[in-house]
Structure 1
């Protein structure tokens, strides 16, 4: 394939994925982290690993993508505050809320369907799977979607300001700190941030061509960092080095989206705190928003800024 057609393929990929991606990346550029001290994709802190039963930790992380932009740490913090992750001996409140996430049965019924994988039939607020998924849906319906207003979402769970502050404090302690970027990763992130607001251009490699497409931006970012990676998104994904599923992402990682690992159509640059920079589609500009790694289209991540990760 010639370089012209390779660039075209990369540009087409960005544009094809951009329409479904736009539905979940509807935030303004330069949006801060979804949660102070935490993020949608944050790894569990040592405190979280010690405090949360493994089954519940896995459940919180599995249920969070039910609401794009919702941090699993918020679900876990609510579970902690309400029943200590199901450890409360009765799990029945004076207001007759029940189960590990403390739902009134009437409220639970509004968020119980569809029944999540592994849930009970019929669903019940006593079942941890049903309850955690219902909590994610309740939060999503009241401000948590796309990280728009997590404080409002938590307030709707329990309309008490002290409760909201308590949940957010617990959530912040459950998220491992995101390492600061260093070396090539830091330079790649800095370059990408400097391009915010630059127009999307199909096949574009930079300002000399009027702007970037998705893989043009990520290639240029790593070129500015002194590393050479392939031009198109699929080739960048194949180039690696790949990260294992569940690995903590760090600033500078590349995030890949598509219908399968063999059909990558979009790439973004992770900047930390659950955020990424990408060039999304024609008519848009380079922007920063949720990393969206909980989306069904997310296929994996690579880390070019490691020894052997890019040819100089």
Structure 2
């Protein structure tokens, strides 16, 4: 959330370049992730929306408007699950000796930035569970979201899906077609992870079942951050699987950047670790996200709202669009980056982590969306 003024926040110096992961990881480790501000049905998160306590420049709006914007805006992550993705290829090998599954994975590996063996493993996890537990409706994008959150698809560590010893012992000992299952084998790990997610008769097509299943998959102090990362990346993979040509657009680059900041703290006037701040405020996050994609934006939510083309009110925002909150006639006080399926990534307010929220809820002061170009 920005201060209720269109003037730049103190020390709001535009950041350039992409923050280093090492520093981001350090800050994430130091933040007692305040994603657990309260619970609503199905275990989703609700966060307070208070004005920052730091001194703010004089606001050019009436006191009544100040009180209104301080309490308004979206603050709930409602029941949700990733949208349906492109189905994995199936069937016998063609004349070139490459199976439809191999061709499918090779076609999506680059756009999704997932190694082909890992992508084939996630697909085999879905295909195996279709037979073992068809009522679960496991999608490969959920496994891919876990793979990204846990190990960057095996690029960090030998346990690509972050299975605990107990999970592996229970779900990975016997896998059809695999003589000696191992944790380091993407196919074995994906099947074991799928079984863990589907345990207890879970149906992953509904938001409630999906959330509870992922919540049970990994506990501990980083559990909320993990679940947000899984949801965000699974949603991105599903969207890109349906339109891989979007992968190199500024909107997707900006979205990937924003997803990489989940868990960093809200910092009023903050431009991120590379600019010397532990985190971002709302417009600092959206500006840095688009800076990383080579698209310059003004610094505050209000100035961003007035600088970029509007999305027609009758249209749902698209991946990477900016969504704004406030009074268009006087001041826009908050901005987030649209993820798809009714979700946005945003830096909510002081005391909160950067996180995913539902972008539009009854009673908020949603002002519309804009599309950076």
TM-score when normalising by structure 1: 0.45
TM-score when normalising by structure 2: 0.38
